[in-house]
């Protein structure tokens, strides 16, 4: 045990949180826990309203062989900027404290959450702990915040970008979750002296989420429980947050108010949920249904209740973020309506797999047309389209494929002491995949 290299993950969300990054990084650390001495520093659960009963500011726990240090933070109201800032600042201070208290670590692994500060934790830790830093960028900020005009204060954006460029430059290796994000990284550095990076796709557990027909017992039970059996279901499953334009997309559903057998189902929580619900109530729409996050073990059934899935991003997010929900949808063998910019990672996946239709964000007439096209499609053709995604995922996007790429990066930094060069054969193979 003492001879193992140690990796400290400072990742905010971790088991049993329902956030996508929690599930991904829980699976990642579980798969490498016998290769490395693993410590995870994370907030107490609360992403989807989970209650935690921790009393101490720092509580030590174990998940199998993984040491978990949980930080007690103030509850966050995602609709309040002040509440978000209070939560983020508290996390930043306490996560740094927990990291610096660790006796030793060979690698610090951080992600781009909270925005900019997630990377800064790794930069600070690297300096004081004399360790290496892997910076995993799931979302480029402040580019993402700027795209949705989270604030009009250009000074804040400028300062944040400078800080995160320092994080990237100082990191020993950068991980990106989409091929389209490579150009964003290069543009930050004017295509000169770009830091070493590798593209590793997110994933779902394709052995757990499988294609199921609606007559499967669990799927049928879900449909009957919610009164939506014998309906054509357009589903969005995930975070109802600020970066998806859902508060405007929901307005197009009024055009289907006279179609009795179509339902638009939203499963999840987030900052714009109340706004969406207010609109539905005001317009007295009966074809839109909201449900809370489903238990992790039930997602395999809820995803299969849909005829098509919405995978969306706001305009300006191309190269900045990749909605990870696409992998679960592909695993379930369902067709996708991608409200996604052309040239983005999701556009590439849908185009290469042939499992859906893509329209540009904010083109609401095209969204309406695409929904009608899916609705009028022969059901066997629709099913075949969805299965195209499953077949593509099995070939290119399995959980094992991505985790093995993480292993290569960890091993290179932990044992060889040499960074992977972006022009190396391995790195180029990963980028192409």
What domains lie within the chain, and their CATH numbers?
A: 6-203+398-432 (3.40.50.2000), 217-396 (3.40.50.2000)
pLDDT digits (tens, 9 = 90+) for 176-209: 999 999 999 999 999 999 999 999 999 999 999 9
> Which bin fits 64, alpha (ψ -120 to 50), beta or left (φ > 0)?
left
| pLDDT at residue number 19 | 82
Instruction: Name every residue whose Cβ is closer than 8 Å to that of residue 85 and which is 6 or more positions away in sequence.
Output: none
Q: Where does 223-371 show beta strands of DSSP type E?
A: 232-237, 262-267, 288-291, 308-312, 335-339, 356-359
Distance, in Å, from the CA atom of 21 to the CA atom of 377, rounded to the nearest integer, reads: 34
Q: What is the DSSP annotation of 54-69?
A: --SSEEEEEETTEEEE
pLDDT digits (tens, 9 = 90+) for 326-385: 999 999 999 999 999 999 999 999 999 999 999 999 999 999 999 999 999 999 999 999
Distances (CA, A) of 427 to 17, 103, 113, 168, 310: 31, 32, 24, 17, 32
* pLDDT band at residue 432 using 50, 70 and 90 as cut-offs: very low
% helix, strand, coil for the chain, step of 5: 45, 20, 40
User: How confident is the model over 300-308, as a mean pLDDT?
Assistant: 98
C-beta separation of 109 from 7 below 8 A: yes
pLDDT digits (tens, 9 = 90+) for 35-80: 999 999 999 886 555 555 567 899 999 999 999 999 999 887 766 7
Helical (H) or strand (E) element with 117: helix 117-129
Tokens of 78: 């995602």
Name the CA radius of gyration of the chain, rounded: 21
CA dihedral in degrees (137, 142, 147, 149; nearest 10)?
140
CA neighbours closer than 13 Å in the CB half-sphere of residue 273: 20
- Can you tell me which residue has the tokens 């208290």? 101
C-beta separation of 189 from 162 below 8 A: no
């Amino acid at each position: 045990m003492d001879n193992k290299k140690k990796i400290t993950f400072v990742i905010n969300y971790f088991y049993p949180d329902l956030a996508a990054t929690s599930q991904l990084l829980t699976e990642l650390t579980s798969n490498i826990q016998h290769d490395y001495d693993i410590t995870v520093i994370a907030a107490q659960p609360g992403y989807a309203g989970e209650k935690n009963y921790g009393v101490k500011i720092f509580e030590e726990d174990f998940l199998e062989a993984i040491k978990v240090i949980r930080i007690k933070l103030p509850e966050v109201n995602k609709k309040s900027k002040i509440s978000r800032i209070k939560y983020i600042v508290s996390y930043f201070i306490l996560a740094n404290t927990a990291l610096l208290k660790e006796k030793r670590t060979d690698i610090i692994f951080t992600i781009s959450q909270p925005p900019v500060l997630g990377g800064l934790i790794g930069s600070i830790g690297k300096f004081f702990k004399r360790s290496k830093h892997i910076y995993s960028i799931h979302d480029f900020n402040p580019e993402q915040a700027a795209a949705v005009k989270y604030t009009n204060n250009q000074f804040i954006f400028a300062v944040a970008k400078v800080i995160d460029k320092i994080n990237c430059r100082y990191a020993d290796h950068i991980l990106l979750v989409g091929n389209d994000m490579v150009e964003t990284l290069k543009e930050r550095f004017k295509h000169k002296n770009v830091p070493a990076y590798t593209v590793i796709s997110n994933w779902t557990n394709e052995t757990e989420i499988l294609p199921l027909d609606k007559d499967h017992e669990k799927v049928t039970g879900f449909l009957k429980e919610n009164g939506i059996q014998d309906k054509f279901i357009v589903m969005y499953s995930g975070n109802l947050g600020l970066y998806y334009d859902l508060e405007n997309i929901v307005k197009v559903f009024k055009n289907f108010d006279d179609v009795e057998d179509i339902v638009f189902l939203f499963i999840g929580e987030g900052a714009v949920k109340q706004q969406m619900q207010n609109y539905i109530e005001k317009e007295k729409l009966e074809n839109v249904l909201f449900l809370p996050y489903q238990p992790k073990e039930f997602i395999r059934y809820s995803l299969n209740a849909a005829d098509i899935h919405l995978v969306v991003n706001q305009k300006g997010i191309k190269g900045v973020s990749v909605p990870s929900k696409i992998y679960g949808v592909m695993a379930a063998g369902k067709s996708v309506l991608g409200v996604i910019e052309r040239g983005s990672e999701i556009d590439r996946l849908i185009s290469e797999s042939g499992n859906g239709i893509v329209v540009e964000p904010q083109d609401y007439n095209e969204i309406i047309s695409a929904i009608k096209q899916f609705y009028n499609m022969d059901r066997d053709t629709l099913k075949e389209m969805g299965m195209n995604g499953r077949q593509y995922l099995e070939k290119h996007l399995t959980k094992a494929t991505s985790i093995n790429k993480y292993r290569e990066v960890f091993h290179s930094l932990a044992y060889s002491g040499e960074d992977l060069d972006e022009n190396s054969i391995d790195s180029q193979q990963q980028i192409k995949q």
